[in-house]
Amino acid sequence: MKIKGNLFFSGDKSLSHRAAIIAGLAWGKSLIRNYLPGGDTLNTLGLFEKLGCRVERDGTTVRMDSPGVENWNTEPGTADLGNSGTIARLALGFLAGKKGLTITLTGDQSLSKRPMGRILRPMISAGAEYSYKGETDRLPVVIHGKKLLPIFHKEDLGSAQVKSALIFAALVSQTPLQMEEAKLSRDHTENMLSGAGVQIDIHKLDSGRLLEMEPPFTVNPIEYDIWGDISSAAFFIVLGLLMKKGELLIRDVLLNPFRTRFLDVLQKMGARMEIMEKELRGGEKGCDLLVLPSELKGYKISPAEIPSVIDELPILTIAGIFCEGEFCFRGAKELRVKESDRIDALVKNLRALGMEVEEYDDGLSFQGNPERILAGSIESFHDHRIVMSFEIARIISSQNSCKGPDSLDAILNDTEFRIAGQEWTTTSFPDFYDKIRNVLDFTEKA
C-alpha cells in the first residue's frame, strides 16, 4: 500500500462561515467560490435565507444577494444550526445587534450542551437581550435584537469565536467596539473584513492587541475564492507522514499562522514536508504542501501552543500513537467543550484500542510506537474530528500488520478494528472517504 496523488480541499470551514456572514451583512450580490458544502456551513447559508437573503448554490459556488442588514426579515422564526458551534456563537453576537429582530436559535444534542455564556456575557453588558427555552447560557436561545451600546471587552479565553461575534455585532448595530485580546486567536474575521472595506484598527500591546472600530460601517459585497480547509488537510498530512511509501501533494490550502501551528508541531516531531507559499486571496494566504513519509518522534505540546492547534489535537494524537517516545499535551481544557469532550473521547478510544493512557483534566499522555497494531471498537461521540482521526489510525495500523491490506474495503470492513458513526464526517468534510479512496494505492504491497 502506498500514498499518491494531488489533493484539493473544499473551502476552509472558518473562512466559509465568515464569507457567508460578510455577504449577508453587505447590501447586494456576493460571489463565493470553493464554499464548504458541509453540514455546518450549509446551516449558515440557511440562516441567511431566513433573514431574507437570496442564496443560490451550485456545488461549492455560492451566490448571495442580501437586502442589507437594514432590510433583514425581523420575524424569521427558528433557525436550527445543527452541530455548528461557530455559527451558533457568531450569530448570538451579530443577530442580537439587529434592532427589532426576534429569532430562536436551536442546535443538535451536542450543540445544546456547549457553553454560550462566553458570548452572552459581553453582549449583555452591551445591552443585548436573550431569553432561554431550557438552561441558561445554552441553546435554545431566543434573541431579542436591540441597538447595542458601545462594546468594551477583554478577551482572555483566546477565542476567535468570541472576538468575531463581537466584531460582527458592532457592525450590525453600528456601534463602536474596543476589545483587548489578551491571548491571540485566529484572525480571519479581521483579514476578511478588510477585503470587504471594513477598517479595524489594531494596536500592539505589551501582551496581546487592542482592536478598535468606530461607526459608521459599510460592508461591501465580496467576491472570494476560499482556500482549501487546512484542518481537513491535517488528516491527510498525518496520513502522508505515517505511510511508509509514496508522497502526497496538497494543493491550494490556507496558510495562516494561527492555523498552521500544527505543521510546526509535526516538524518538531520530525515530519518531512515542503511548503510552497502562494499569493493573498480575500486577505488570506495559501500554499501547496508536499508531504513525505517520515519517522516521527515524541513531543510534548505546551499550553502556549494549544490555542493555535486546538482543532488538530485529535489528529496530532494519532500521529503520537505511531511516534517513537512520549506524546503529551497539556493546557487544553477547552478541548472538553468542543463538539464532544475530546479529551474524554480520545482517552476512551485509545484505551478501547488497548493503549495505556494517562488522562489529565487538561490533556493526556502516552508512549508512542511506530510499529503499533491496534484492535478494538471506536465510538464517534458524535464528533466528526474524532471519527476521521481514528480512521487515519486504522489505515496506519493495517499498514503495520504483517500481510498488509489489499484494498480500502478490507480496512473499512475490518472486524478487529471497528469505527462507529462514519456519517459524522459530513459535518465538516463530506468527501473524506472519497479522498481516502483517491490517495491510497494497493497495487504494491507494503
Q: Is 108 considered catalytic here?
A: no
Q: Give the residue at shortest CB distance from ligand S3P.
A: 14
Distance of CA 376 to the CA centre of its chain: 28
User: How many Cα atoms sit within 13 Å of 229 on the Cβ side?
Assistant: 27
List the grid coordinates of 204.
Answer: 500592539
Residue number, 167 or 248, with CB nearest to ligand S3P:
167
Alpha carbon distance 390, 237 (integer Å): 14
432-439 helix and 384-400 helix, angle to the nearest 10 degrees: 20
> Which residues contact ligand S3P (rule: CB under 6 A)?
14, 86, 159-161, 164, 185-186, 310-311
Residue 163 CB, nearest distance to ligand S3P (Å)?
Answer: 7
C-alpha closest to that of 114 among 308, 339, 445, 283: 339
Residue 160 CB, nearest distance to ligand S3P (Å)?
Answer: 4
Three-state SS at 427:
helix
Q: Give the contacts of 89 (CB within 8 A, at least 6 positions apart).
A: 116, 118, 119, 161, 162, 165
324-329 β-sheet, strand order? 297-301, 324-329, 363-368, 358-360
Residue 159 CB, nearest distance to ligand S3P (Å)?
Answer: 4
Residue 117 CB, nearest distance to ligand S3P (Å)?
Answer: 12
Residues 126/130/136/139 CA torsion (nearest 10 deg): -120
Residue number, 14 or 110, with CB nearest to ligand S3P:
14
Residue 224 CB, nearest distance to ligand S3P (Å)?
Answer: 15
Residue number, 167 or 374, with CB nearest to ligand S3P:
167
Judge if the upstream peptide bond of residue 216 is cis by omega within 30 degrees of 0. Answer: yes
Alpha carbon distance 430, 10 (integer Å): 9
Please state, in angstroms and as integers, the Cα–Cα distance from residue 222 to each residue in 20, 23, 92, following that order: 10, 6, 23
List the grid coordinates of 14.
Answer: 472558518
Identity of residue 439: V
- Residue tagged active-site, from 137, 311, 341, 414: 311
Catalytic residues: 311
